[in-house]
Amino acid sequence: MIHGITSNRCPICITPPDDFGELPDTPYDTRPHLRYAATYHNSNFEQLESDGIKNVNDALWHIPHCEPHEIVRPDSLHTLLLGILIYLMKGAQEFLEKFGPMTTFDHIWSRLSPFPVFTRPNKAYHSVTQLQRKEMSNLLWVLLEVFTTVLSRTTDTDPIASRHKPLYHKANLYVKYITKYILIAQYQVHTPGTIQLMKDYLEDFHKHKEVIRRFQGTKLVNNAAK
């Protein structure tokens, strides 16, 4: 977190806290730190509070050609894997536990075959207490396939209730769009085409996220709103 920004505000852009987790129609403006510095020196503390800025003389304001918001650089591990992917799996797991097929997910997950970019898991997914980077990368490669298989099962011993099929379809799209977004976001080089794909997948994810969010526990929903 950039020094001087209150904890309930985005340090990079001027995003209203109530809009966290939503997809804006247009990007929010980046934070105008030169204006914050002038506001501080003019002792306009009410304006600083309104902007979500602490009443401190931020040292970064005095470094020539420094844009404090550019110091915060997203990276694959913390933004995509520890951020989006872990949140995705918490929601998906809550959904699977709600409707019963979490045991089927564990069964398939623990019996996957290894291949060049995938190391076979040695335990059921729900038994993993903390995912390491390698395990998260593993999960990303196969999550959509495992999730799709679980939600499309047709065995007589564990059939899908007809009333749940529309929810299963939407949940599958939720997982599909966000996993594809994360995979493409990790490309070393991007083109206008890959960037447009990321935008499309992100928009489609937001269209279907409520199907998972509505089944999440209260604590998870509150955390997602931060």
Please indicate, yes or no, whether residues 198 and 110 belong to a single structural domain of this protein.
yes
Mean pLDDT of 127-147: 79
Q: What is the DSSP letter of 159?
A: P
Phi, then psi, of 130 in degrees rounded to 5: -150, 120
Please report whether residue 4 resides in a domain: no
In the chain, how many domains are there? Answer: 2
Indicate if 129 and 192 belong to the same structural domain.
Answer: yes
pLDDT band per the 50, 70, 90 thresholds, residue 23:
confident
**Residues 95, 42 share a domain:** no
Range of the domain at 187: 76-224
Phi, psi (rounded to 5 degrees) for 5: -90, 130
Residue 87 inside a domain? The answer is yes
- Residue 184: pLDDT band (50, 70, 90) is very high
- 41, 134: one domain: no
* Residue 43 CB neighbour total at 10 angstroms: 10
106 in the same domain as 37: no
Give the tens place of pLDDT for each residue, 42-82. Answer: 999 999 888 888 888 888 888 888 888 778 777 777 778 88
Same domain, yes or no: 59 and 83: no
Q: What is the pTM of this model?
A: 0.74
Residue 11 lies in a domain: no
193, pLDDT greater than 90: yes
Residue 52 in domain: yes
Question: Is there a single domain that holds both residue 129 and residue 193?
Answer: yes
Asked if residue 218 is part of any domain, the answer here is yes
Residue 109 lies in a domain: yes
Question: Mean pLDDT lowest for which of 32-41, 83-92, 159-168?
Answer: 159-168
**Residue reference for tokens 């395990």:** 135
Could you tell me if residue 204 is inside a domain?
Answer: yes
* Predicted local distance difference test score (pLDDT) of residue 181: 92
What's residue 141's pLDDT? 84
Q: Does one domain contain both 33 and 105?
A: no
Asked if residue 196 belongs to a domain, the reply is yes
| 142 and 35 in a common domain | no
Whether 33 and 141 map to the same domain: the answer is no
Residues 112 and 204 in one domain: yes
Distance CA 34, CA 177 (A): 38
- Domain endpoint, select from 71, 100, 115: 71
Residue 167 contacts by C-beta under 8 Å, 6 or more apart in sequence? 99, 211
Q: Among 55, 71, 87, identify where a domain stops.
A: 71
How is residue 4 written in tokens?
């001087």
Domain end point (choices 71, 92, 111): 71
Mean pLDDT of the residues in the chain: 81
**Tell me, what's the pLDDT at 216?**
61
Is residue 64 located within the same domain as residue 159?
A: no
